[in-house]
Amino acid sequence: GESVGLHLPTLSVQEGDNSIINCAYSNSASDYFIWYKQESGKGPQFIIDIRSNMDKRQGQRVTVLLNKTVKHLSLQIAATQPGDSAVYFCAEGRNTGFQKLVFGTGTRLLVSP
């Protein structure tokens, strides 16, 4: 069946540290992956996405790594800031056709000053 899970429900880091949030997926047919950040009382905010023809993609202070062999996805946040505190979701989907996304339960990132 479809499932997207996360290894850690809560991650606590100090300001300035690098954060790594992990995600496992089970649907080998998935070829599109996306990370969202959700702050309290708000909708999910797009961070970065990656397609299965890539194993790494970088954005501003963020990097997503995809390991299709072990069905693992990670989000790295450099120089974590208090404003990065939120719940982070990974989601999987198919690259073509219908655009349904399957979300995991999320990881809460807590950044201490």
Partner 1 sequence: DAGVTQSPTHLIKTRGQQVTLRCSPKSGHDTVSWYQQALGQGPQFIFQYYEEEERQRGNFPDRFSGHQFPNYSSELNVNALLLGDSALYLCASSYGTSGNQETQYFGPGTRLLVL
To partner 1, the closest distance from the beta carbon of 106 in angstroms equals 6
- Asked if 43 touches partner 1 (CB under 8 A), the answer is yes
CA distance linking residue 58 with residue 109, whole number of Å? 20
Backbone angles phi, psi at 36, to 5 degrees: -125, 150
Site for partner 1 in 65-94 (CB under 8 A): 89, 91, 93-94
What tokens does 60 get?
Answer: 């501003």
Work out whether 96 is an interface residue with partner 1 (CB under 8 A): yes
The verdict on 103 binding partner 1 (CB under 8 A) reads: yes
The rounded radius of gyration (Å) of the Cα atoms in the chain is 13
Residue placing its CB nearer to partner 1 in the complex, 11 or 104 = 104
Residue 42 touches partner 1, criterion: CB under 8 A: yes
Distance CA(37)–CA(107), nearest Å, equals: 10
What distance in Å separates the CA atoms of residue 16 and residue 52, rounded to the nearest whole number? 30
Residues near partner 1 (CB under 8 A) are 4, 32, 34, 36, 42-46, 49, 51, 89, 91, 93-106
